[in-house]
A and B are shown apart, each in its own frame.
Chain A
Amino acid sequence: MSENRSLVSIAGLSREKILYLMEMAHEFETHPNRKILDGRIVATLFFEPSTRTRLSFETAANRLGARVIGFTDPKVTSSTKGETLKDTIMMVSNYSDVIVMRHYLEGAALYASELTPVPIVNAGDGAHQHPSQTLLDLYTILQTQHTLEHLNIYLVGDLKYGRTVHSLIMAMRHFSPTFHFIAPKELAMPAEYKQYCQANGINYVEHEDFNEDIIAGADILYMTRVQRERFSDLMEYERVKDVYLLNASMLAKAKPNMRILHPLPRVNEISQDVDATPYAYYFQQALNGLYAREAIICDVLGISLDDIRADKSYLKF
């Protein structure tokens, strides 16, 4: 099968490619509305619902002038009649220039990218990869810290199942970070990712406590949700559920440049009183998803940074 420019995983992206996509996202932050995809069709195939990710991709496509087709609920498609993923992808490939897909099975996007020359963008495949989330996280870190190098990144909450934190570690391997893993024992960072850190020369420190003294060292505080259903021992859940909640009083010793990120949706792990502090950055982070996804869609379609810099279609808006 012919090679294509699909984005299915963060693991294969080089440092140069990541920085290139960051520059591209910055162009879209400056001018998000363009006609650069006029006449193109973006398919968004959501085999499992994810309203936030879908809206972000569809907004990106619309702001670039593309048209969007697709489905938001596999119940209305032939998947429920037993159609294979292969057949769905082959069919949609006939209609679209790029396929953004979210699937509940791991490896689905990689498999799809082998089936068709139409580029595939992985918008999440089970618990496996979600590269557009990682790129928007990186863009947010760069935007707030003005560098990706030598940062102290504190990951808090569910580090066992949270794919966003796993992908962030992989993507940051190029930039000499120090990670702090803050989680209850049951949801601690899995050994395979600690081995990955060791193999890639990434420093990490593990904590079970979460308090203002710990937070004082952070450049980025990346919060995730501790979910009840992840615990086999509900007594353990009751014991730790309130340990990994962030409130404004815990930010007294925070560094001025520190920013709080969260992939959203949040439930109660970041208290509402944090929203008004200068450290809260999760809503801007979500907005950055738009710019990162505009960059991803253009990149997989072969539109270069130079093409975007030369484009003046934003003047018509």
Chain B
Amino acid sequence: MVAAIENGTVIDHIPSDRLFEVIRLLRIEELDHDTVFIGYHLKSRVMGTKSIIKIANRFFSEQELNSLAVVAPNVTLSIIRDFEVEAKFRVELPHEICGIIKCNNPKCICNNEPMPTRFIAQGNTVKCYYCEKEQELPAVKLTDDLGKA
């Protein structure tokens, strides 16, 4: 199983097929000095299989964490201090999502200019702010240059 951490953030109940997108979204590969435990394809009573990420000594902003809702709306987040769960919560999809989702319209300006994408959330769909094409949330792809918004 995945080791406990003294201080940091635990992201649980990640659908295994979205694990690597969560890693990209939080830019975990850029964390130089902190220990990261990743459990992939763990057995889960509720989900069948799930994935989990534990990041030592790292606390994310609300904005960073809410961006996870784009790819994994049901993840559970725990903030750990002194091996204790200090806070536990779920992510919430922001109304406006910048620089994360790739527009699936090749003729959209945001796929042809060096600019951040911008989407408006409407229930289970997101609408491109520029070309107004809608996408179902579970089918979205992430931008190639995540986090450069």
Q: Is B130 within 8 A of A86, CB to CB? A: no
Q: Which residues of A contact B113 (CB under 8 A)?
A: 84-86, 111
What does the 1/0 interface line of B89-122 toward A look like (CB < 8 Å)? 0000000000000000101111011110000000
Q: How far is the CA of A127 from the CA of B132 in the complex (A)?
A: 11
Binary per-residue interface labels of chain A (116-135) against chain B in the complex, 1 for a CB within 8 Å, 0 otherwise: 00000000011110000000
Q: Which of A99-107, A136-144, A248-256 contacts B (4 or more CB under 8 A)?
A: A99-107
Q: What's the Cα separation between A104 and B112 when bound, in Å?
A: 11
CB of A110 within 8 Å of the partner chain: yes
A165 at the interface (CB under 8 A from B): no
Q: CA–CA, A104 to B106, complex, Å?
A: 11
Is there contact, CB below 8 Å, between B109 and A107? yes
Contact across chains for A105 and B112 when beta carbons are under 8 A apart: yes
Q: Which residues of the partner chain A approach B105 to less than 8 Å between Cβ atoms?
A: 106
A106 touches B115 (CB 8 A): no
A108 interface hit (Cβ, 8 Å) = yes
A74 to chain B: closest CB distance in Å?
A: 13
Q: Contact check: which of B107, B109, B134 meets A85 at CB < 8 Å?
A: B109
Residue from B109, B132, B133 in contact with A105 in the complex, judged by beta carbons closer than 8 Å: B109
Bound state CA distance, A26 and B76, in angstroms? 60
Q: Is B128 an interface residue (CB 8 A)?
A: yes
B109 touches A108 (CB 8 A): yes
Asked if B131 is at the interface of the complex by the 8 Å CB criterion, the answer is yes
CB-based nearest B residue for A129: B132
| Whole-angstrom CA separation of A125 from B132 in the bound complex | 12
Least Cβ–Cβ distance between A12 and chain B, in angstroms: 12
Asked if residues B107 and A126 are in contact (CB atoms below 8 Å), the reply is yes
Q: Given A111-B130, A128-B131, A128-B132: A106 and B107 within 8 A (CB)? A: yes
Partner of B108 from the list A85, A105, A192 (CB cut-off 8 Å) is: A105
- Would A111 and B107 be within 8 Å (CB), given that A106-B130, A128-B131, A128-B132 are in contact? no
Tell me whether B114 and A107 are in contact (CB under 8 A).
Answer: no
A131 smallest CB distance to B (angstroms): 14
Report the minimal beta-carbon distance from B135 to chain A, rounded to whole angstroms: 13
Q: Which of A85, A103, A106 has the most CB of B within 10 A?
A: A106
Contact call A84/B114, Cβ cutoff below 8 A? yes
Q: In the bound complex, how far is the Cα of B133 from the Cα of A104, in angstroms?
A: 16
Docked CA distance A107–B130 (Å): 4
Taking CB atoms, residues of chain A closer than 8 Å to B134 are 192
Closest to A84 in B: B113
Shortest CB distance B6–A (Å):
45
Among the interface residues B109, B112, B113, which one has the most CB atoms of the partner chain A within 10 A?
A: B109
Partner of B131, one of A84, A85, A86, A106: A106
CB distance from B96 to the nearest CB of A (A): 14
Of A86, A103, A127, A192, the contact of B115 (CB 8 Å cutoff): A86
**Roughly how many angstroms separate A103 CA and B131 CA in the complex, as a whole number?**
12
User: Which residue from chain B places its CB closest to the CB of A9 in the assembled complex?
Assistant: B132
Q: Across the two chains, which residue of chain B brings its CB closest to A125?
A: B109
Residues of A within 8 A of B109 (CB): 85, 103, 105-108, 110-111, 125
Within the complex, what minimum Cβ distance (angstroms) separates B82 from chain A? Answer: 46
Q: Say whether, besides A84-B113, A86-B113, A110 and B107 are in contact (CB < 8 Å).
A: no
16 cross-chain CB contacts under 8 A: A84-B113, A85-B109, A85-B113, A86-B114, A86-B115, A103-B109, A106-B108, A106-B109, A106-B131, A106-B132, A106-B133, A107-B132, A110-B130, A111-B113, A125-B109, A128-B131
| Interface residue ranges, B against A (CB under 8 Å) | 105, 107-110, 112-115, 128-134
15 additional A-B pairs beyond A86-B114, A105-B109, A106-B133, beta carbons within 8 Å, are: A86-B115, A103-B109, A105-B108, A105-B112, A106-B130, A107-B128, A108-B109, A110-B109, A111-B110, A111-B113, A111-B130, A126-B131, A127-B107, A128-B131, A192-B134
User: 4 shortest A-B CB distances, which residue pairs?
Assistant: A107-B130, A106-B131, A107-B109, A107-B131
